[in-house]
Amino acid sequence: MYIEVTYRLVIMSLTNALAIGSEALKQIIDHAYAEYPYEVCGLMGGHDTTVEVAVPVANASLTPHTAFELERQAMVDEIIALQRANLEVNAIYHSHPNGPGEPSERDIAEATWPDAVYVIIGLADVEAPDVRAWMIRQGDVEPVEIVIAD
């Protein structure tokens, strides 16, 4: 387990890019629009640095205008479903209904998945979604390039 995680981190820092299937990308943007002005969240699954699918998870935050919290049981159910489909969770997404696609101080403080990429959909300009990706590890934030795949 430990070796697998380390291996993935090495891959990530070498490439510093996340390939997201166009369908999955469209899906998370649609999800962000659908729940505006609340933040949405969910998981992304695939292999290594390629995202193949996105699955929404309910936002359990009591202040969903400005925060997200993956609803615990739904998250566990989706992780199991992804694993059964032979996919690993390699990214977590959420939206900023009125902000940029950059991690907030709270996002940085609360990031608990060092081996996943954080994808943020910023809707400050509602006609031009600002989708960006980040590695967040122990307070360190590194941008990850998003490459759109088919």
Q: State the residues that interact with Zn ion by CB under 5 A.
A: 104, 107
Task: Report the candidate in 111, 147, 102, 145 with the shortest Cα–Cα distance to residue 13.
Answer: 145
Work out how close the CB of 150 gets to Zn ion at its nearest, in angstroms, rounded to a whole number. 28
Residues 6+ apart with CB under 8 A from 56: 31, 40, 41, 42
**Beta carbon nearer to Zn ion, 48 or 102:** 102
Tokens representing 142 are 């590194």
Residue of minimal Cβ distance to Zn ion: 107
**Beta carbon nearer to Zn ion, 43 or 87:** 43
74, amino acid identity: A
Work out how close the CB of 69 gets to Zn ion at its nearest, in angstroms, rounded to a whole number. 11
Instruction: Note if 78 is an active site residue.
Output: no
Work out how close the CB of 120 gets to Zn ion at its nearest, in angstroms, rounded to a whole number. 6
The active-site residue, picked from 4, 23, 35, 39, is 39
Residues tagged active-site: 39
